[in-house]
Structure 1
């Protein structure tokens, strides 16, 4: 395969991967993108495979993460996109190495299982490094509307990624088995017949996970989620901090009026989003009075997203549980603040590269541990609500630990105002839908500005709101406490996949050294 063809395939691979994500939602293009990249790196060798992977990564992440530069400019957006694309370059290098022929005359194979393992390993590395990683844009998070979503109940997001990539690898095998015999002759019947088993396997692998059960039975608890809206989109969304707080209190008072009138069921729990009170209610009496009045009016526990002015000189992104007539009884502090958004690592160094780092005036301190807010339920016994703040929902371990601490309901509190009218909010909602299936839990996904929804354990989003509107979500969600297989196996499937990749690379490296020691200094670069 010539160099131009490889890069063309890589470009279309990256674009296909991007279009698989919300709000384009063309989820079948994810395995197609994987297939194109597998074909582009087949027989490329590690060096050219890395360049091919970089092209695919840039074609995917530059449009996918365009929301990250909507108000801060191109430099942070491009830098983040390039960083994420470098991991796809590593995948391309490994794919080019492991999909090279073992003999000088051999044809470079497509190895679908290897392709799938490489995708899982790449995402594991990208989710952990640097500064704690950034797992946005994983294959799994493009499959919220796909039958492959059901694999999350078996082994979490890595299983969905593996299934998606394996289907893509099988598609690549099908294409590789086709033989073009020139103008007027086309592809012979034997070529089509040779491709059919791999094609059938890809289709079956994509559809079969729908048979994995995602039960939604169990007692139902009435909950409410308050989307209060903000005065304006952008970095200054909370310039009128009291107005944002008042918006959420106003919607809550209106909900209370509906409950008192019998129009809505009295909730067991009400959830406000992240940053619904950027005025520290533990230190500001006016803010505390506004919140407590709303809590007493609705006569139900309310979880409030608040910014706390502690530990000085840093601040904390917290979820506070308010009880009627009592005030704050529990808190959770975000464990994984976002680097370069909620805190600036090595601030003095990065200031030389971009002075916008000082838009983050105070660094956020990480919280010590997960938390579970336990409140009584008239229908479900006890609600054990596990708060997860904003981007934390993308990290497997953080959500898994919350469930391990006993959460039977997940709360994803987020603020999307700083990303304007972009796809970021839809992309995040898709992640929450994956988590619902992975852990067999209902999820209250609530944003200051949308998109918010009540998600049942089968991953279906109900009462989805629109951006930059005030809204109240009210419904009875299934409360389930049983553990899924994904909860039981934890991170082991992903760790096993990474270990197998390392062993494959070591074995391939040793094979190359043996060939070199025999005096064979040629490579299979470019052979197909």
Structure 2
């Protein structure tokens, strides 16, 4: 019974229930509740309302059930996470135990195998170390040639298999990148460094694998060099937009082959160095082979020396001569551009290095102090100009992130920059971090911008950085990498912008590549194609050390030669420099010192072959390398055999089926007619090994790798 409100007077006892109610849940069928409710009497199970109960009772029951679910959801999630962690821990323990068992059981065999391969292992590791020695700050450019001579010797050994080629290439890559990039470990720790090195070493491993495939082709030094061009292109493309750091050309800024960048840019310069190293190995191997077989020919047991094919030293020697000839042809043009011959107009440009309070990720914690440092150094330059110590510049370049405060929104920052521009009486290219309009305040987004700041009038033209740095300016897969390092949350959220790569200051078209952009071929090439007459590289190296700054400066030298332009590098901590079109440093600063550069540069309008046809040249190298790999696979007969069928005559329908004994005897004495790859009738291939009288013009000897 219920009163006028519809609520039951009391909860009936079990012995009073005379009607059987279906237990189907909390709905309008009048089901018995499964679990005791908090409002039950003495812990007894309550009866659910019947159809006549008021709607608010049903609503309250649903609300209470939802609140119970909400209270238990975090607990269930925590239990699930704990179970997952425990399962992963157990799985890891099982894997470690299995690895320990496998290693202990295979240690003797592994030791013997390592001992047999020790010369090749040492050569691969030494090749990586020598390749690193060609880079700043060692700058032994010739070490790269020796490195590829050693690596190609390893990859051409008959005992080196395809899998071994990948392994030796990977070891070379580990040795190279681990010694090239230690400055990353000092900044973010060992785990990100090891992960990056392990990933980068995959690409030399791919080269080693491919090189073993093509080594049986005539002229293998050429194919090795082309395959290296393929792996460099691949590494500059994937993943996350690529990582061009460590291309062979980066270590050739002090070498005699740098002018080749004027012809084909970084891809041609890298390919040329690899070609020289591999050609040296080919010549050395042929000399050793000739020395070993010389006594037999001299004793009269062999054919006359002039009866065989041309010596194998001809092609590699020709390759070296071609590279040297091209370098000699291009060098005078680069040299004339570097010394300023011609009628190109000259202007005075300044670069300000204001310094930061401290190095590391937290250098911008005192954002106002960084801005004041650059304003102060610009005012000092203005005082020197008035005193006649320094010439009056037409424009001034500040580094990337000279102000972390958006001057387009913050009036105090804008006022200080305007004061500096008024004092210097020239526009300033200000590196600033600007807000992206319309973004969420909880997840702000920024753009890395270079703003032309004119005296009195303020902001004018701008360049928004188009190639942003993964793991530095933005973090891909942020949720995943947060579990690997606590530094994941320190990564910014900088988005790429739209820009032509050119800004105009004082009527001069100036190309801009902001820090990370300079390592990519396309950045400053597009600036030059869009009319830039001088190039600038505003950089922020406060996160790194001097070794990194030296390596980055090498890219600016290559861009100067590649595009036939003067390059002005402005870094907040160093190294700032002015680079001539032949790659020479006209002026440079010390690291971590507040100072400025003020010098004359020439405005140039010519387009180099690399600027005109650079992408096409790289495409040709990549396609040629890929084609050589496919030809080698076909040459080695690694493609599945094509289905061949016999031409049957019309009256051959009654012939015995294939594989019968009669079929084998009936075909005796007549050559089998096959359908070749082109669809024409061909004679059957001779698969008899050479030692049994057959010949393999395109196949490989049994037992070869």
Structure 1 and Structure 2 fold alike (TM over 0.5): yes
For 1:526 and 1:265, how far apart are their aligned partners in 2? 74
For 1:523 and 1:327, how far apart are their aligned partners in 2? 72
Q: Give the corresponding residue for 1:492.
A: 616
For 1:287 and 1:524, how far apart are their aligned partners in 2? 74
Q: Give the corresponding residue for 1:132.
A: 241
Deviation of residue 206 (structure 1)?
4.8
CA 1:200–1:290 in 2, change beyond 3 Å: closer, same or farther?
Answer: same
Deviation of residue 81 (structure 1)?
1.2
**Equivalent runs, 1:62-461 vs 2, <5 Å:** 62-99=178-215, 101=216, 111-179=220-288, 198=316, 202=320, 205-206=323-324, 209-212=327-330, 213-214=333-334, 215=337, 216-217=340-341, 218-311=344-437, 312=439, 313-360=444-491, 362-376=492-506, 382-421=507-546, 423-461=547-585
SS at match of 2:365: coil
Checking the alignment, whether the CA contact within 8 Å between 1:147 and 1:206 is kept in structure 2 is: no
Moved more, 128-137 or 230-239: 230-239
Checking the alignment, whether the CA contact within 8 Å between 1:454 and 1:462 is kept in structure 2 is: yes
Report the RMSD for the aligned CA atoms in angstroms. 2.6
Checking the alignment, whether the CA contact within 8 Å between 2:227 and 2:626 is kept in structure 1 is: no
Checking the alignment, whether the CA contact within 8 Å between 1:229 and 1:470 is kept in structure 2 is: yes
Aligned length: 507
SS at match of 2:239: coil
For 1:526 and 1:55, how far apart are their aligned partners in 2? 26
Deviation of residue 92 (structure 1)?
0.7
Deviations 1:296-350 (A, max 9, x none): 1000010011111224321111111101111110111111111111101121122
Deviation of residue 487 (structure 1)?
1.0
Deviation of residue 515 (structure 1)?
8.0
SS at match of 1:473: strand
For 2:174 and 2:465, how far apart are their aligned partners in 1? 30
Checking the alignment, whether the CA contact within 8 Å between 1:45 and 1:526 is kept in structure 2 is: no
Q: Give the corresponding residue for 2:629.
A: 505
TM-score between both structures, scaled by the size of structure 1: 0.90
Deviations 1:88-140 (A, max 9, x none): 111111111111x37xxxxxx77221121112111111101011101011011
Where structure 1 has 5 or more consecutive residues not aligned to the other structure, the ranges are: 103-108, 377-381
For 1:5 and 1:430, how far apart are their aligned partners in 2? 33
CA 1:466–1:98 in 2, change beyond 3 Å: closer, same or farther?
Answer: same
Deviations 1:191-211 (A, max 9, x none): xx9869956964773585144
Q: Give the corresponding residue for 2:89.
A: none
CA 1:503–1:355 in 2, change beyond 3 Å: closer, same or farther?
Answer: same
For 1:397 and 1:297, how far apart are their aligned partners in 2? 36
Deviation of residue 351 (structure 1)?
1.7
SS at match of 2:574: coil
Checking the alignment, whether the CA contact within 8 Å between 2:501 and 2:526 is kept in structure 1 is: no
For 2:368 and 2:505, how far apart are their aligned partners in 1? 28
SS at match of 2:636: helix
CA 1:29–1:514 in 2, change beyond 3 Å: closer, same or farther?
Answer: closer
Deviation of residue 419 (structure 1)?
0.8
Where structure 2 has 5 or more consecutive residues not aligned to the other structure, the ranges are: 1-114, 299-304, 306-310, 642-684, 690-698
Determine whether 1:26 maps to 2:156.
no
Checking the alignment, whether the CA contact within 8 Å between 1:167 and 1:206 is kept in structure 2 is: no
For 2:200 and 2:378, how far apart are their aligned partners in 1? 40
Q: Give the corresponding residue for 2:681.
A: none
Moved more, 485-494 or 517-526: 517-526
For 2:540 and 2:417, how far apart are their aligned partners in 1? 18
Q: Give the corresponding residue for 1:106.
A: none
For 1:247 and 1:203, how far apart are their aligned partners in 2? 52
SS at match of 1:221: strand
Checking the alignment, whether the CA contact within 8 Å between 1:21 and 1:142 is kept in structure 2 is: yes
Checking the alignment, whether the CA contact within 8 Å between 1:151 and 1:159 is kept in structure 2 is: yes
SS at match of 2:471: coil
CA 1:90–1:194 in 2, change beyond 3 Å: closer, same or farther?
Answer: closer
CA 1:333–1:359 in 2, change beyond 3 Å: closer, same or farther?
Answer: same
Deviation of residue 274 (structure 1)?
0.5
Checking the alignment, whether the CA contact within 8 Å between 2:128 and 2:176 is kept in structure 1 is: yes
Between 1 and 2, higher relative CO (CA 8 Å, sep ≥ 6) is seen in 1
For 1:8 and 1:34, how far apart are their aligned partners in 2? 14
Deviations 1:115-169 (A, max 9, x none): 2111211111110101110101101111111111101111111111121111112
For 2:380 and 2:702, how far apart are their aligned partners in 1? 68
Q: Return the index of the structure with the highest Cα Rg.
A: 2
SS at match of 2:433: strand
CA 1:98–1:200 in 2, change beyond 3 Å: closer, same or farther?
Answer: closer
